[in-house]
Structure 1
């Protein structure tokens, strides 16, 4: 994804008035540019921050939450995109954004916490350098930008690579294999895009109605209520609203193809459509939830269009009738996770002062 938006997404939240369930937002702790979030159990949450650090946030009754730093990544290696844990094993992911063979050491790498220290566990960019995207639309088939990570109970780890347009699986010995590839989708340039950006520079955007093959840009992965693997798309340029999909992949799959032209065939099938700029997925025992960076699209946000800062958290329906949680209360949200007690945790903004919040 040449525009690099996945590496630059911003996230935020605004306070909400007390109301019905999942409409009350409260701050757990202030953080610096938090980027990833995963609930370990109610009251204990794993987060990443913009300085490359990874921490546990421990809530305490009638006292401020405690932040326990687990470790950090050298900022020269790239941004810390996400973190995940299973059965006491902690994994941390760095992003990339560019040809795999040109990235600096430590970028596009999966790390594992061992004996209190972060150590490289799997070389994502090394895998992508030898496994180019066959449907690349931007002339960089080895582009890699790992963005979403999920540790599984069997000791393997899933990685959604937004640049490589694929889902990867990492084994305990560091072996990396491709689970699925996400094919582009034909869209038309939408109406209403400006001729100049916020600085007055020409955008050079094609005219409305121009057909474009738009890359999937998978950003997120979760295990659904049925045990299948679910992957959410950001959607590449021109980032049309309503064109981000969620795919359902049979566990154990390798080299599956997720194709919007044939969405119901094979081991990767389309679970939901009609979403916009997905940057995270989570699930509880009954439902899958999707986080939308901007309900108008990430491109509208980058262009500074009025209202484009409003994102959303959606309870996903296969019928397309998605239910928004805390409607219009989230400003450019970057991620969320559902705790076992039903509380939803979210983080943001990615840049500058931010916070971990909970939605109840």
Structure 2
């Protein structure tokens, strides 16, 4: 299975019924719980952002909504991506960007409207900003491991204060910057990392402990309170737990390289390590980052019928921009979570499960 559809294909697994996706824990079940529902009864919620007192979120059919907790508005609908909701982010002026990814069928051509960044405002039809897939056809990944260097699966989005937009591509393994006129530049490329094959893969992989190269799979991007750009990795096959990194990229960079062999050189430096199957990042107050893990046991373990329990962490900064420690929030209460975001008052929101019935929650 190619990297383009590693994440999208999980939708096919879940929707086919071969994996039972558990719902979120009920926030009322225990006095220890700290999830407050903001929007419920959603099918596959994933993208989430905020604007003033509103929470904006996306669902699996490509629809994007905004709610203030009392009323809900539909901003519009963009093409679906194999059952996976688009990523969303909203800029300081209230413009929401929706990013569609790859389809769920390996080897199939991208569906019309996929691999595309859209601009959305209430009362107006979505507008195409840029065709990410077309750009990647002319910008091959020099570190590709699967003989498909022009593949694309845009997966994460972050709107910048200057009107441009960052897009992380989970197949191109890079970070792009998109201008309002559709111009695109490659900010940084994430190199593969040598990891050890985990146990339990059977004949899917070499024997446990064997070192093999694994692609970065750049799923997520956010802007920190320090203004730097942060990118999170899923980790390609064999999805070894504890090998997903977070990279810190100097704003305005072009052509930076995020290199796990030399992680402290250049305009892209490793900020944190030790995560598993990252699918979401959010920049919070005082240098914190919210980090979303799709499945704590890894995406491959879930795909193989294992646990759906995901993770939500606060990553705290350390001295001299070396990441400090992390703390897990609501352990055991999130299953296959997707996006996360902070509002301007520092309140944290998370969406999920990304497949099946779900909700958007405020984390208290």
TM score, norm. by length of structure 2? 0.88
SS at match of 1:350: coil
- How far off its partner does 1:210 sit? 2.2
Q: C-alpha separation between the residues in 2 aligned to 1:100 and 1:161?
A: 18
Cross-structure match for 2:189:
181
Verify the 8 A CA contact 1:147 1:162 in the aligned structure 2: yes
Query: Would you say 1:148 and 2:118 are equivalent positions?
Result: no
- How far off its partner does 1:151 sit? 0.9
After superposition, give the CA deviation of every residue in 1:62-116 in whole Å (9 maximum; x if it has no partner): xxxx321111123479854211111122211110269999423311010112660
Cross-structure match for 1:357:
361
Cross-structure match for 2:296:
295
Cross-structure match for 1:262:
262
Cross-structure match for 1:36:
47
SS at match of 2:146: coil
Cross-structure match for 1:315:
314
Q: C-alpha separation between the residues in 1 aligned to 2:128 and 2:85?
A: 13
- How far off its partner does 1:25 sit? 1.0
For the aligned residue pairs, the C-alpha RMSD in angstroms reads 2.2
Q: C-alpha separation between the residues in 1 aligned to 2:324 and 2:8?
A: 28
Cross-structure match for 2:338:
334
Q: C-alpha separation between the residues in 2 aligned to 1:77 and 1:288?
A: 29
Segments of 4+ moved more than 3 angstroms: 8-12, 74-80, 97-102, 317-321
After superposition, give the CA deviation of every residue in 1:17-46 in whole Å (9 maximum; x if it has no partner): 334xxx51122222121121112234x111
Residues 1-360 of structure 1 correspond to what in structure 2 (within 5 A)? 2=2, 4-9=5-10, 13-16=24-27, 17-19=30-32, 23-30=33-40, 31-42=42-53, 44-60=54-70, 66-75=71-80, 79-86=84-91, 87-96=93-102, 102-113=109-120, 116-193=124-201, 195=202, 204-286=204-286, 287-305=288-306, 308-317=307-316, 318=322, 321-360=325-364
Q: C-alpha separation between the residues in 2 aligned to 1:358 and 1:167?
A: 28
Verify the 8 A CA contact 1:150 1:221 in the aligned structure 2: yes
SS at match of 1:56: strand
Q: C-alpha separation between the residues in 2 aligned to 1:350 and 1:175?
A: 30
Q: C-alpha separation between the residues in 1 aligned to 2:61 and 2:109?
A: 23
Q: C-alpha separation between the residues in 2 aligned to 1:99 and 1:131?
A: 21
Structure 2 unaligned regions, length at least 5: 12-20, 317-321
* Deviates further, 240-249 or 348-357: 348-357
Return closer, same or farther for 1:162/1:130 CA change in 2, 3 Å cut-off.
same
Q: C-alpha separation between the residues in 1 aligned to 2:58 and 2:9?
A: 15
Return closer, same or farther for 1:77/1:175 CA change in 2, 3 Å cut-off.
farther
Q: C-alpha separation between the residues in 2 aligned to 1:70 and 1:37?
A: 13
Verify the 8 A CA contact 1:9 1:334 in the aligned structure 2: no
Return closer, same or farther for 1:57/1:234 CA change in 2, 3 Å cut-off.
same
Q: C-alpha separation between the residues in 2 aligned to 1:127 and 1:78?
A: 24
TM score, norm. by length of structure 1? 0.89
After superposition, give the CA deviation of every residue in 1:154-187 in whole Å (9 maximum; x if it has no partner): 0100000001000000011110110000000001
Verify the 8 A CA contact 2:222 2:230 in the aligned structure 1: yes
Structure 1 unaligned regions, length at least 5: 61-65, 196-202
Instruction: Considering fraction of residues, name the structure with more strand.
Output: 1
Q: C-alpha separation between the residues in 2 aligned to 1:297 and 1:353?
A: 21
Return closer, same or farther for 1:176/1:206 CA change in 2, 3 Å cut-off.
same
Cross-structure match for 2:18:
none
Return closer, same or farther for 1:344/1:103 CA change in 2, 3 Å cut-off.
same
SS at match of 1:126: helix
Return closer, same or farther for 1:102/1:129 CA change in 2, 3 Å cut-off.
farther
